Homo-oligomer: A and B are copies of this chain.
Amino acid sequence: MNSIPAATLRRLAIAARAPSLNATQLIQLAATDPGLASLGGRDRRAFAQLGLTTHCADWLATPDDSLVDSDLRWLESSGVILLPAMSPDYPGLLRESPDAPAVLYVRGDLRVLAEPQVAMVGSRNPTAGGRATARDFAAFFARAGLTVTSGLALGIDAACHEGALDAGGPTVAVLGCGLDQIYPRNHEKLAERVAAQGALISEFPPRTEPMPACFPQRNRIIAGLSHGTLVIEAAEKSGSLITARLAGVAGRDVFAIPDSIHNPLARGCHQLIRQGAKLIERPEDVLCELKISLSAQLVAGPSPGLAVPGSGAALLDKEYKILLDALAFEPASVDNLIERTGMNSESIASMLLILELDGHVAPHPGGRYSRMAGQ
């Protein structure tokens, strides 16, 4: 963040606190006012075409300077990064999802947010079996190169983060409060591990307490970040079903694990399956379904209804094409591909996984890859 001029950072801090400002509005504002000089400028005319609430326009024109100063001091001391929707680092899938946050607060590694993610959610009071399934599936996804995204809650969420971390994979935790506090309190150590090995993110400014109303809002970010959402154990009318519904609304896959008809925590999953969620028995089933989705995305490009200028999916799509073009039918190593494309090794490794799942490339001994015939 040191490379960002102080004036720009201040404007991002103003945008981050603007009530109900969403990604689309901030991107539109940045298109006409690239330096966001209008923020804090006391003139509301720049905001006229954005469809903002009065409350939001008031804040953007005349923010509370002492509050913004305090946020800036916290950002500096905590190392938390502000990630606005127009940044190339802002996750593309989230940007395409309905009512995406204008600015994210991020603690950890920004690059993790660009990796393909699968959301895993479920009950705060799972059965021992549900908890074990969560850990096992998360570990499998981590080993397969997928980032596990969840909500740092008790129960299934924690088991998913732990499963991914223990398998050496990154994981993303989306909080329903400011990043200056951790909820629940006894997940502070887990939050440290997530920040060290992945990222903690929130749309809520510092000093936002965890409130019931924050959690459904938080859930839309979990769903929006992910190619699909897997529900493990969920009661009827539970928060996990909201996340699943939001994933469906955003056009993402919804997955659910069945269980005994005598387990009340299977009810929510069974309800989702009846409504069209994919029934999942093994973590491979999720990869197989994501392969289909990713393959469709790769072939068709992002859906026109969802795409926004400079969207991450379009970017992803372009990068995949560059990588495919750099691959020949003679096997090449990741080092060869770094040389040919100028991309970094993490991006290449992650894209190769997707391309392999997708049947576009074939793996060879010694970590080399070749393009498949007909691709």
Hey, which bits of chain A sit against chain B, CB under 8 A?
129, 133, 257-262, 266-267, 270, 273-274, 278-282
Contacts and interface: CB of A to CB of B under 8 A. Distances in A.
A116 to B, nearest CB: 23
Given A267-B281, A281-B267, A129 B260 contact: yes
A245 to B, nearest CB: 18
Contacts of A280: 261
Given A261-B282, A274-B278, 4 more contacts: A129-B260, A258-B259, A258-B273, A259-B261
Copy tally for this chain in the complex stands at 2
A206 B218 CA distance: 69
B261 A260 contact: no
Contacts of A266: 258, 281
Contact of A270 (B133, B262, B267, B279): B279
A281 B267 CA distance: 8
A280 B261 CA distance: 8
- Can you list the 10 inter-chain pairs with the closest CB atoms, starting with the nearest? A258-B258, A261-B281, A274-B279, A273-B279, A259-B260, A270-B279, A270-B281, A260-B260, A257-B261, A258-B270
Contacts of A282: 261
Chain B CB count within 10 A is highest, among A258, A274, A282, for A258
Contact of A259 (B133, B259, B267, B278): B259
A270 B278 CA distance: 10
A96 B267 CA distance: 36
A279 B129 CA distance: 21
Max chain B Cβ within 10 angstroms of own Cβ: one of A129, A267, A281: A281
20 contacts: A129-B262, A133-B261, A257-B261, A258-B258, A258-B260, A258-B261, A258-B279, A259-B259, A259-B260, A259-B261, A260-B260, A261-B280, A261-B282, A266-B281, A267-B281, A270-B279, A270-B281, A273-B273, A274-B279, A279-B279
